[in-house]
Structure formats: structure tokens, C-alpha cells
Amino acid sequence: MPSHLPEGAVLGIDVGFSQKAQTTCFSLLQWDRTSIAISSAITGSKDEDRAETFSRLVGNCTLSGVALDGPLTRDLRLVPHYRAAEAILSRGVFQKRGKPGQTSAPTGQQLHLHATRLANLVLDRVNISLANHWQPIHERCVVEAFPNMFLCTLIDEPDLPVLSRDASDRYWEATVDRSSRLSALIGTLLPGRTIDCDLRMCTDHEERAGLICALTALCVVVGEHVAVGDPVDGDIVLPPARTWGLGHRRDGAWFETVLRDNVRAVRAAARRHPNHLSARVAIPGGLWF
């Protein structure tokens, strides 16, 4: 359904934690009745740099929602284990489609820590609307994004690119440079508006990821999304299923078929974490499967 909000703003955060390079990107997406404006700012991993960059970009703007590319759990707790969202999106053909890292791995723990710190930074500094989606992890609309799979869902199975540790950029090319799938999604979420920039001119890796995170937040705010995970360890949010790409036989979304198989496998796995027993896929109205 189209957004019931005539105007608003969402924030996407591509979480980086390099001590040398600037790899954290804040992306602000604002809209009114006729237009959509996108602005971004990249910063490093120090708290003071992030706070200054965030304040400069967002100011006192009220945010309808925020999405971060990093593991987030209920009440923003830190956990040491492999989460259901990651397990579901890592099995079968997803293994070669840019799967998420494991929260339980050393790099995953770093990403989890920085994502949680950034979420708290935003919550402390601006007003964020209350969450109104099913089984939120926080009372405010703060959700988890994963640009690789977000873009992957939009692509027809025959058009999926060959990957080499560059999933998000190859998927960006497939949905922006070689098709209009990403622009079509934006038009679905915020119809009748003009974007103030040409997506094909966005070439920076972090800025692309930050924008996809902002679109993830927008999907939740307008009530058009799919959430993969469990109620305790959180969800990875994807675009609405009606925008997903078709399979080889053109008889349905290939991503849904794999997702259903993976949810069953994760719930039945012998060495699963106890929270994996609650693995499921949700839509705005509640449980999908």
C-alpha cells in the first residue's frame, strides 16, 4: 500500500568499523507530496566523528524509521550466537548469493557491537516514531537491513549476476544500471513523486549501501516489507514480496521458494540454537510462514 504519510524522513546506516578508513555511511531519505530527496555523509568509527556527522546531516529532523546494516536484537542486547535470520539467509543457493556473516564470528561480533552503538546514538539524539510493525525489536522503529539480499530479491533468477565478494555492487548494477527495478520499488513505496538524483550516478560503495538501508526503513514505515528471523534475535528486513523477481519458469518468486525451504531446515537442524525453533518469515500484518 502507498505511504499514508504525505511527508517524512527515514535514515539508513551502513555500519563500518575500520580504524583507518571512513566506512560508516549515514543516508537520509526525505519526501513530501511531490518529491524525494536523498543525502548522504560518510564518516569513521570514532563515536565523536559519528555523532558530529549524524548531527550535521540529520539535525533535529524527526525520523519515521531507521535501518542499520548490522545485527540487532530485541532491546538492542548484545548476543554471542548465530542468529536465525543469518541461518535462513545462508542456506541452499543463498550461500552463493552474498549471504550475511555470522554474529558469532569475530567480525560479526564487531559489526554487532558497532550497529548497536550506532542505533543507540540515533535513539539518544533524535525523535524516532514508534514501531508499528509486527514483533519489533524496540519500541521505536529501528530495524536491521542487509543490502545484498534486499537487492537480490528484486532480480529475476535468469538475470542474477556472477559474484566475487562484491555482491552489493553487482546487484546494484543489475537493479539500477541494467534495469529500473530499484526505481520501480521506490515508486511502489512512494508513488507519484520525483527523485532529486539519478541513481546511476551513485558510484560509491558505502553510499549505495546507506541508501539501501534507508529504503529498508522506508519499506517498514509504509507497511510494505518482509521480515526474516525470529522474535528474540531480530529480523533482517526485505522488500515486499510483490516486487520480488521471478524464477526460471516464471511461475513465482524464486526467492520465496528458497526462503520456505530454509525456514523449515533451520527449525529442524540438529545443532540449532534454541531461538531457531522460532524461525519464521513475517509481513506487516503478522506471520507469513
pLDDT of residue 242: 97
- Domain residue ranges of the chain, discontinuous segments joined by +: 8-287
pLDDT tens for 101-126 read 999 999 999 999 999 999 999 999 99
DSSP 106-132: HHHHHHHHHHHHHHHHHHHHS-BPBP-
pLDDT digits (tens, 9 = 90+) for 198-223: 999 999 999 999 999 999 999 999 99
Q: What is the pLDDT of residues 214-262, one digit of tens each?
A: 999 999 999 999 999 999 999 999 999 999 999 999 999 999 999 999 9
* Residue 269 CA: distances (Å) to CA of 64, 88, 197, 225, 279: 37, 11, 46, 27, 11
Over the stretch 148-193, which tens digit does the pLDDT of each residue have?
999 999 999 999 999 988 899 999 999 999 999 999 999 999 999 9
